[in-house]
Structure formats: C-alpha cells, structure tokens
Structure 1
C-alpha cells in the first residue's frame, strides 16, 4: 500500500467512526454518556420525573461503581468478585425535547448494564433486563413531553456473587440516543452474510428490516452502495418499489468481482455497505453504514482451519472484559492498547470469555486483525454462581441470543460462535436447541462450546483444561475422527512479573486450587507434562506463593513450550486460546488475592517474561529476550539459570562484554539456557537472523532507588474524544537504570485539565483502592491512567515518593 493510499484509508475510516452523530438523512445518533447523576444505594421514588437528585454525584458514562469501592473480605461477591462491593445504584439524566421530534421516533440504546437494569422515562417503567452483558434499545417516543424529560435507571446488583469472575456494577458501557423517521431500518436492520462464491467472486446476502410506524402502508425503495477502503464506490443497486406495513424483511444479494479479502494479515481490506431507505421520489428516509469484509472460512479434520484458502493456526488468547484499575468501564484507549500489545506478541485470535463484549471491541478486531470466537454465555439453566444468569436463562436465552447474533453478525473478525463454557449438567437436547436457533439466524460460521464436546450439535469440539493432559487431544480424535478440535482454554500457566523460581511447581502438588486441596498429586504425575528443574536447588527465595515463577515452569498440566510442541502439527487441531491474555479481577484462590496470575500480561498490562516466549513462538518479527533481570544483590557467584527466547536459530550470551558462548536452538527446543555465576554488570543476549539482522536484549545491574521515571503512550489528550494516557512509572537508580525489586510508595497528583482514573501495580495481594492517589510500585513499576476533563488547561502530572527525586510530565489538553 502506498503512503498516499494509507493516508486516504486512515482519513476515510477515521471519518466514518469518529463522528458521535452518524450522517444520513433521517437518522441521528448522539452520545448520552455525559452528565448523569448517580447515587449508590436504594433511593425510594428515584424513578419519578421530578425527584430531587441535586445532591447526587455527577459523572460521565461508562461507569463501574464496584471498582471505585474498597476491597473487603466480607463483601458478598467474595472470591469470584475480587472482594469488591456490589449493591444497588441509581442513574438519572435529563434531556430536552426538540420540536423536530414531533414527527420522529426517539430511542435510547444501552450497550450494557450490569445487571438487572430497569429503565424509566418520566416515571414510566419501560422494561427490566437481567443479562448484564448484552445491549438493548427502548422506544421513548410515546412517553416524551415538551420541555424536560427524565431518564432513570435502577441497577440491581444486590445479590452476589452473580458470576465466577469480577463482573463490575453499573452502566459500564456507552449509552446513545437515536432519532429516526417513522419509516426506518430496525435496530439491527442490516444483516450481511458474505463470502466467496469462487476465487475472484464474492457475494453478500443482505437482509434489511424496515419498520413503518405510520398507520398506513408506505412505499419504499431500498438502495445498496458498496465502497472500498479508500471510499470509492465499487457497486450500486436499487430494489423495485416495496410496500411496508409494520415490519418487513427485504432480502437482496450483491456480487463483487476480484474483491479485496479480509484476514488477520490484511484487516485493512474492509468495505462499507451503505443502505438507504428511499421514498418513491428518491428522498432518503433512513441510511445506515455497515462495515463488512469478504473472507472464506473452511474447517476440516484433514486441513484444519483455512482462511481464504490459506492454512491458519489459531494463536489465541482468552480475555475477560475488565481491565485492571478501571474495572469493566473500559475506555476505548485502554482496550486498544491491550489489543495492540497482543498483536505485537503475535496473537491472532481472541475468545470473549464468557460473554458478549462491548461493540467497540469487535470494531477494533475488524480494524487490527484478530479472529474472534464470540461467546454468548458461561452456563445455561444451572447456575454456576448463586445469583448468576442461570436463574434467568429459561426465560431470556432466546431473546439474548438473538440480540447477540444480530448485533455481531456483520463483523468479519468473528469466525466462530461459542454457545457456552463448561456448562453444568447440559443435555444434548439443549445444545441442539441453541445451535439450531443460531443456525436460523446465521449459518455462515461454525459453532463450538468450551468443554462441550460430549454434545453432538457443535461442529468443532472445544477443549479446556482436560485437553492439556497427555494424550487427551489425540485420544479424542481417535474416538471422533471426523470432528475438528480447538483449544478453547489451552494452556493454563502462572507467572508474576519479576518473580522467578528455579524449581518447577505443579498446581495440585504445590499450590492446589480450592477444589484440589487434599487430593494427591501422584495419580497426576503420568498425565501432566513434567518440566525439569532449572537448578537442583532453589536459587530465588525472595517471594512466596501465591506469587509465581516467570520462567515457563509454574504449570497446571502443561507448559507453554509443551503446548506448542504437542499441538502445532496436528491437522485436525485448529489452534488454541490460552487462559488468559491479561490478569483479570476475581476467581482467585482466596483472600487476600484479588486474582490468580494466569495472565501473560498483568493487571497493568505490563508483560511478563512468558509474553516474550509466545512472541518467539508466534511472531515473525525478529526478536530475542533474556530472563531474569540482572539485579540480584547477595547472590554473587551463585549460579543463576539464564533463559533466552528467540525466533532466530540461536543466540550468544555476554556478561560484561565477555561471551558465555553461542547456542543453537535444536529441533523442538523453544528456549536456550545458560548457568551463569552471578556477577553485577551487563547481561546481554544477541541473536541474528538468516539475513544477518541483529537483535539484542540487555539488562544492567541497578543501584539504589533514587529517581522516578515516567513514560507515556501519548503527549496530548482530547476531552471530546475521552482520551486516556497510560503513564508507566518506574523506580530507577542515579544512572536511570530501573530497579526491578523496588517497592516504594508513590503519590500521584494530576493538575489542570486532567484527572487520575486509576492506579495499578500488578501485585495481586495489594488491596489499595483504585481511586487512591497513593500506591506503591510492585517490582519497580506502577501504572497511572490519566483522562482529560472539561477545562481548557494543559495537564500536569507530579509523582513523588519518600527518598526519591520527584518526576513531572506535561500533557497537552486538546478540545
């Protein structure tokens, strides 16, 4: 792609997605995120229009009140909810009636409210929605009055735990107001099933749903315009005149020769389908723009997964929807940073565990190039947490599943549907009901279920932890030779950033989960993938459990290297989604741990060493990484196992400029190991590609903590765009070398046109509230998130700590 094309493409897609009101005659969508009143607790009569809420807190959405609270062992969410509070919360907002609404339809759109949300308009109850992970739309038209109108939302998360992980509480996703003509496209009124009819010829089968809210039949014409990534029209067609009374589905098909094909490698190959509802004279009644991509997904036991005819291995990660210090109210900048880190690691796929994500997640996956396994539910009718969705499943699953499929169907990034995860007590009959229901809505994608391979309805067998035992995957294939297999949760390992142990640890033997306590490790010994100790005695004794080793030697059943060696050459195995990409709140082994450290990246989004092991396995960009760091006072002359990961054919290790030898990666070997007597100085690994490109990684021994360093991912912040800056804060010595074991309390002060929205250090045992201004670093680092506020001043961030030279950074405040 030329520079000119890149600029054009950027401007086109930027214009399409950056507008808060979507262009198109007859349709206006505007954000309602700003200036809500909030009260935590029950508030009698708060649903009434004229209720006095002047003493309530003013805030912007998205909002998660649980993450703002304090960790407490007695909070009812318990282990599952990371010991954070739940409860009942009320939100209220006033909107002014506009005269042009007299002939319009006015809707309110919620992307997600957790959970049991009840919405009122001017005191009139609209509806209650139990499921907290899916969006919904309500028609306000008949309840609006001239002047001021009041929207009230009660969020009832008083019964906990309501999930097996941290769920958050509140209106934690975006809210919009939609204004249309009386004849308009439905909420998900443009459904596209696209693919390749043959090489060089693509098709898109389009179902447009038009609503007519007038009392008489209306004549319309439907127009489809397809534009390429540079905004050029490549196709246009119109239907004949159509009579619409009530709601009407209209089917059309378009074909495109020599299309640009979407894939994880070519995500820029997206098209925009503009759908217009016209009156017979050509006037625009409604218009919507839908991003689509043409690609062909094929799955078989003989060839695995093929995307556009190319063999593809899923190099995937499981994710929960929270993001460390912001909980579940995740700013788009925070989500984009997380996805960028995964892309740089070589990850090409994400499983949304175990619920639908926010709409912007799928848009980003389309743009950045991720294959998505989109998961609808965790369990079904049997509750897995006392107050979870299982209590509502029988009544609500069809409504929520239809909303889920129709909401997400147009995204080219979604290549699998998943109907559940480790579903308790499911029957083959129920599995068939869910699969058949989806197939009625979308028959273009294969369907799976996490650990649901005992059912006969799913097309791909999803394997979780049990698939990590020796011979499990091959054994399943032998019994079911015609069914492809995917690792829906493979593999599980633990790691804590900056922590190392030379002795291998196994969960059941050394740190059993609550359900494993009292169970012998002996029967497991022949089932798990044993890993030799890196040294005959433990070299690192500084940290105790539950902190885990960042060598690849703290496992449940299978290490990362064994996962890759075991699965990469099995044609019937499509690839796997690791548990997990990031540490997530909740689901720990007990107080005071906020989480169990499964993540390849910690709660800050800082990489562990295993991030670079995946990068060495998955990424084509030349890299080398060495571990551990090289600041180990008191260990002089003690042998330290030095491990190198690289995707070249070998590396050379240097200590203080002296070579410790070159090592070649042997067949099937995924790490290089040197036993190095510790001596302060510089440890450096050097690797070279076949084309003689050199890559290096070095550590220098740090002195005493003396200074604070700040780096940021952006130098300016816009209030209008709700920009967020990630400030990576490090403790360094007098020479600027980061001190990897420094745990110092810091004070963070934000002045001017910004606000601090969260501090996190990645320490799973640190229970400091996220809204506090003081927090200690963990293993030398701290993350501060800063967002612009509604003032015109630039943003000054001051960070200080006892005995340390303070640091300051200035961020430009944009409109």
Structure 2
C-alpha cells in the first residue's frame, strides 16, 4: 500500500555552460585556471581486436582515420544472422579499438588534466601512454579519468577498447563505439571537481528565490590552503542579481563542501514557454589570485505533484504532453550530430510536446542543454532493468557491481538541469520486489531529494513518489482502479500509448496488434490472447465497412488513428485531460527507432509518429492539433489513388480550430464542427484533382491546406533545410529528396531510386527513406524512395567553399542544390 504522498519542490537548477564542438573548440573560464577542449577529430580506428593496441609504440598507421562521434554498427550491413537480431535491428556489433595522438601542451605543466567521455558503448577500457585508466561497462554513462601523472613531453597516446561483441546487449539498437563527444579539461591542482556544484532553491515565486549552493573544492596539494569562494548569480545580460562569499580552509589532499545561501529578487521563472536561464559563477580565490572559476547556466522554477491538483509548474496546472524517445537517429545510428538532434527537438516543439522521457538510459549532455534552452520538461531515466538481465548480455550482468557508481555519476551530472522534473530508476523491471525498489529509490533520494522518483511500470512496488504505468495503463479502467486503492498517489503514463504507423500507408478498418499482426511474443495462440483482453481495450469504429486499401503489407501500420496495441491516441489524450491525478502521458514513441522489431526483415516496429528519416506521419498532426496553439490543419490520406475513381475514401481532418470545410475541385463537401472525437471525417467518392480543407474559428478562415493528385513522374526535387553552413566538420544539411510530376506535386507512392552526387567540401553522412523493410546500407550514394521521398544527410569538412549536390533518377530530370560553406 502506498503511503500518502504530496511532493512540493522548489529549486534553482544549474547546467554546465554549453561548449561548441569544433576542431578549435575550447571553453575557457579563465585563460590560466580552467580550459575544456574538444578532442573529437583525427582518431584512428580499427574494427576487430588488436593485440597490444594499448601500448604507445603500437603501429596504427594503417588504421582508418575518423572523427567522433562514431558508431560502427550503423556502418554495417543488415543481416538476419547478426547476433543482435531483432533487438539490434539485425545490424552488426563486435569489438573495436580507437587511438588518439595528442602533442604535449605547455598549459598542462603543474596542472590537473582529465579526459572526459560523454558516452562509449560498451565495456570501454582506456589507456594513456600504456597506463590503464579503467573500465566502464555501462554504455550510456559519462565518465572521466585523471591523466595528469601519465602525460609526457612529446606524443601522448590515448587508446580505447570498446567491446560490444556479446549480443544482444540491449533490447533496442544500441550502436557501438565512442558515439558521443570526448574532452580534455585542464584545471589547477586546487579546483572545483567535475559536477561539484549543486544548486537548489526554496520558496521560489515571482517575488524571490532563496538559493542554496553546495560547492566542492578539492585541494590536491601537499599543504592546507585557505580560500574565499565567491558565488554570483548573473542574469541573461550578465548583470549580477545575487552574490555571496565564504572563507574556507581545505586540508591537503581533501575535498571540502561549502554551503552558501543567497536570494534572487524578482526572478524570471523557467518554463516550456519561457525557458529563461541565469548563470551561476563560482570563483575560488587565494588572496587576489583566481584559483578556479566555473560558470554554469541556471533556471528558476517550482514544481509540485499531488493526486488532487496534478502537476503544478510555478504554481500553474500543466499537463505533461510527453513522448518517449530512444537515443538513435535513423541513418546516423547512435552517433547523432548536434544539428540533427536539434532539428528533431524542434519537430517535437512544433508538434506541441512539452515533456520527454529518456528511454531507457542517460542521454548525451547536449540533449539536456537543448532541453533547458528550448523548454522541454524531462523524465530522466537511469536504467532499463536492474539485477536481472533483460537482453541476454545487457547491463544486468554488471548491475550489482556498478549501479551505485553509475547512478551517482548520472544524477550528479544532470541534477542541476531546470528541464529535469523527475527521475526514473528503471523500466519494466522483471521480477522486482518492493524491497529492491526501496533500495533504488532511497539511494536516488540520497543524491537528489529535490525531485520525485518514478519507474516505468513500477506502480506496484509501493515506494515511488509517482506511480508509473506503461502498457497496462492502456486497459480501460486500470488507472482508475489503482487510484481507488491509492487515492493520494499521483500517476504518470510513463509509456502510454502504443500505436503503430507507417508514413503514407493507410487502412480504413481498425487493427489491433495481438489480433491482426501479433508481435513475436504474442504469436502463440494470439486469438486466445485477444479474447482475453478484447473487453479491456478501447473500441475504435472502422472508417469503412470494407477495406479500401487491402494490399498493404501487414508489417506496415495505418497512418490513421486506427492501428493500435490497446488504446488510440485520442483516448490517451482524453484520459490525461479527464483524470486530475494522471499528470500526463509519454507516448511510445516520438520517432521510429532501430531494433525491437517484430522479426526479419523489419528493422523496427513503426511505433513512432515520425519515421526513421525524420518525416512526419499522419498522427504527428493529430497530436499537434491537440497540443499546439499555433493554428494548423491537416488532412489524410494523400489524394493520388489512380484506379480507385468512384471508390468512397474516408478523408480525416485534424485541426485546432473550431470547424473545417472540405472542398473537392472547388465544390464544398460540407462544414463540420470539431468535437471531442478530435477528428473530422468525410466519406468522399474519389476523383482526381484538388482536395482542400479550410479551418475556421468564429466563422473566419484561419488556415488552409490542399492536396493535389500527382501525375506521371517527371523529376527529382531537392529541398535543403539550410543554404549556408560553417566549415567545422560538424554542421549538417538535411536534404529531402522527392519524386515529383511536371507541376512539382510529389508522387506519394513512388519508389524510384535516387543517385546522389556530392562535390565540394562535404561528405555524404547517410541516407534513409523510413521504410522499415528496406535493408539497404546507410552509407551509400543511392537509395530508393519510399512513399515518394528519402533523406540524405551531408556534413561539412574543415574547408570552405561551395557544396554542390546533384540527385538523379533514371529517366527523370535531375536537380541540384548549392550550399555555401564558410569559416
């Protein structure tokens, strides 16, 4: 039985000042006291094991040279026999070695130097000049090593072994390699350690915020030292708005924690609509000399979670309009460029998403920086399982030895982000006990007691601040039943709802997974399973009596809201609005992700409302119509159905306006008022031409959208998301490739092959079309269109100049774009 739980938390949060990842990227707080330099470029790599590759004299001249982040799995071929199998999307795993040569730098003299890895998957072992630094099994954790004592004049060699040879090591696509950034941090022997600042605040409102700052100072010298710690809070214009200082003596070889209190008057509060950030500046002084100086970004806000009020942000009721999200991104796998991550987060912002669950592991540091800056609230999840492995070779094999170290490092790294509003300590943990859950929750609270703790499908354990429901919450009445037994416990849909869609694909009759396309674990007597649950799932009326699109492969899901596991999107949204104790939901998922497929040859299961290429599916716009206030209207399906003239086709419209009127070739098919069904449906006998919808409020036209019937394929069309870039080996350009007719209308079912030519200072980083059954490699110069389009990603080099991309397709007119790249 849950105890009465009321969580009321007020605090100020801090994040590390963002670093620009370029070849010359150095974040300098003071030229003499602290530097943080990116070392992603010019690593050597060998796929496979290499005896003695950890030794300085090893000859790596024949190894491949590359830049980080790097994921070797996404570079491989899909193969049914790869050991990662269904879980890993049938991509290869294995062992790899990385080596990096760094010349001695004079600034290292008499300093402390740390190498910091944002993420290495998995079982990483690191050496510097042959000296073993350590091993970290968990592939999602950030970690660092002190290399000060092992640096030498001349060439310094970092060697990293990455072992992902035992597969599957996760239940989804993990990637393999050093897939996040690597840094060198240089500080004085007396310094603020990594993640050594923790800031929280009480009584936060529009009038003031009482700020508590805990700052660790490490004295790595041979004598006791006296210091002054000066802590300043700066606003966005770098004006000081609060300040405090303390005298402290730190014994030789010891770390002392300084507790300080100050007050910020009339703070600007952080929220998704106004993600205002401050800076906390920590200066360690010895007399007039600056010993260390660290600047961090901050945000003020209060959070409160109760069963009767729901979730209050800064005292205002807010519904969590959330999505779950894995860490990979289509053609780049786990090595996601920051430009691509930012592009995807902007898509979510435009969809109306205000909350993200990091499933089921820590994300990259830049994700949290972007969440702070863009205004996303985050459920930050540490682990998938605990002591029992869920995939054959996953982190469960190492959990008992490593979980406390990893959970500590994870929470210390992220505890100061204003975006993070709750922690999750696990997901669908098999056979966990209430005692195990209490151990996890108590330990997490010992690191950070300013946020609530939840767990995906952990509602039965009894020790969570907020009860987490996954798929079981999609059964009718399940959450209400829990609430009757635990009336004081707030609830969150940690993974709700599960629906399955493919871009450009439609069915007019409702399908349920277990009944119509069972997952591998449901294939034994699926109808028996269906009969057991059919009274508990949500009934979705068919759009037509007979299926209009009968030839769709069963691996594909309909892009109407009628392809579900248990609950459609509309009922997910209704439930969150109806139940005050349900704080909101995190749908599964925002983006299609590699792995966890339903079997060969599918490389994923189409759970996203955005496909592997980053193209929207129909349900994206359903969410947008309910979660976004920006005027919008959308209609499905496309309007190119040659051979179906006269066939009655359901046309579904989503809008956040009061009504919509539909026109076919200029003739009105009637105006309909939006209801709580969240969609408007017209049954339209098909004829080619223009299908147009006009959305209105208060009788006035607010927004329109039109679909036109495509004719014969005529040309290739390229759309670039930017016209100019920086020659920094980082910037990304997204090229949307389409097959169009003579008037420029995309052919929505075209499958022509694109041939891609790139000249100038850029490389083709990857290609993708969103088709879960297309097993062609990502690192190729051609790709078939799927439902009329595909994606190509190009990345700049370090040379300026014009990047020229030409795309061809057999018997069609080609297209060319020119992108300017400059220093």
Q: Same fold (TM over 0.5)?
A: yes
Equivalence map 1:368-767=2 (5 Å): 368-517=374-523, 518-519=525-526, 520=528, 521-666=530-675, 668-690=676-698, 692-720=700-728, 722-767=730-775
Could you tell me how far apart the structure 2 residues matched to 1:290 and 1:100 are? 23
Aligned residue number for residue 7 of structure 1: none
* C-alpha deviation, 1:87, in angstroms: 0.4
Could you tell me how far apart the structure 2 residues matched to 1:677 and 1:499 are? 19
* C-alpha deviation, 1:78, in angstroms: 0.5
- Within the candidate set 48, 57, 67, 1:50 is matched to 57
* C-alpha deviation, 1:239, in angstroms: 1.0
CA contact (8 A) 1:76 1:83 kept: yes
Aligned residue number for residue 11 of structure 2: none
Could you tell me how far apart the structure 2 residues matched to 1:354 and 1:763 are? 24
Could you tell me how far apart the structure 2 residues matched to 1:81 and 1:22 are? 40
1:651-678 deviation digits (Å, cap 9, x = unpaired):
0000000000001123x22111100000
TM-score (norm 2): 0.96
Q: Which runs of 5+ in 1 are unaligned?
A: 1-11
* C-alpha deviation, 1:210, in angstroms: 1.0
Could you tell me how far apart the structure 2 residues matched to 1:100 and 1:445 are? 40
* C-alpha deviation, 1:15, in angstroms: 9.2
In the alignment, structure 1 residue 286 sits paired with structure 2 residue 292: yes
CA contact (8 A) 1:117 1:156 kept: yes
User: Per chain length, whose mean CA-contact separation is higher, i.e. which structure has more relative contact order (CA < 8 Å, sep 6+)?
Assistant: 2
* C-alpha deviation, 1:23, in angstroms: 2.4
CA contact (8 A) 1:196 1:295 kept: no
What do you get for the CA RMSD once the two structures are aligned? Answer: 1.4
- Within the candidate set 300, 307, 311, 1:301 is matched to 307
- Within the candidate set 147, 170, 179, 1:172 is matched to 179
In the alignment, structure 1 residue 316 sits paired with structure 2 residue 322: yes
Equivalence map 1:184-263=2 (5 Å): 184-197=191-204, 199-245=206-252, 246-263=254-271
- Within the candidate set 785, 798, 815, 1:790 is matched to 798
- Within the candidate set 776, 781, 802, 2:810 is matched to 802
1:548-567 deviation digits (Å, cap 9, x = unpaired):
11010001000011111223
Could you tell me how far apart the structure 1 residues matched to 2:217 and 2:483 are? 47
SS at match of 1:296: strand
How many residues are matched? 801
CA contact (8 A) 2:17 2:296 kept: no
1:567-622 deviation digits (Å, cap 9, x = unpaired):
31211010000000000000000001000000010001100010000001111111
SS at match of 2:294: strand
Could you tell me how far apart the structure 1 residues matched to 2:812 and 2:291 are? 64
Could you tell me how far apart the structure 2 residues matched to 1:68 and 1:448 are? 36
Against the structure 1 CA distance between its residues 296 and 16, is the aligned structure 2 distance closer, same or farther, given a 3 Å change threshold? farther
Aligned residue number for residue 264 of structure 1: 272
In the alignment, structure 1 residue 158 sits paired with structure 2 residue 171: no
Deviates more, 1:710-719 or 1:799-808: 710-719
CA contact (8 A) 2:244 2:260 kept: no
Could you tell me how far apart the structure 2 residues matched to 1:197 and 1:797 are? 52
Could you tell me how far apart the structure 2 residues matched to 1:287 and 1:631 are? 62
CA contact (8 A) 2:509 2:545 kept: yes
Against the structure 1 CA distance between its residues 594 and 195, is the aligned structure 2 distance closer, same or farther, given a 3 Å change threshold? farther
* C-alpha deviation, 1:144, in angstroms: 1.0
Aligned residue number for residue 65 of structure 1: 72
TM-score (norm 1): 0.97
- Within the candidate set 780, 789, 814, 1:781 is matched to 789
* C-alpha deviation, 1:22, in angstroms: 2.8
* C-alpha deviation, 1:814, in angstroms: 1.5
Equivalence map 1:81-160=2 (5 Å): 81-160=88-167
In the alignment, structure 1 residue 328 sits paired with structure 2 residue 334: yes
Aligned residue number for residue 5 of structure 1: none
4+ runs of 1 displaced by more than 4 Å? 12-19
* C-alpha deviation, 1:243, in angstroms: 3.1
SS at match of 2:775: coil
* C-alpha deviation, 1:224, in angstroms: 0.8
SS at match of 1:437: helix
Equivalence map 1:19-38=2 (5 Å): 20-24=26-30, 25-38=32-45
Could you tell me how far apart the structure 1 residues matched to 2:151 and 2:575 are? 62
* C-alpha deviation, 1:406, in angstroms: 0.4
CA contact (8 A) 1:639 1:678 kept: yes
Could you tell me how far apart the structure 2 residues matched to 1:109 and 1:16 are? 15
Against the structure 1 CA distance between its residues 304 and 17, is the aligned structure 2 distance closer, same or farther, given a 3 Å change threshold? farther
* C-alpha deviation, 1:16, in angstroms: 8.9
SS at match of 1:149: strand
Q: Which runs of 5+ in 2 are unaligned?
A: 1-15
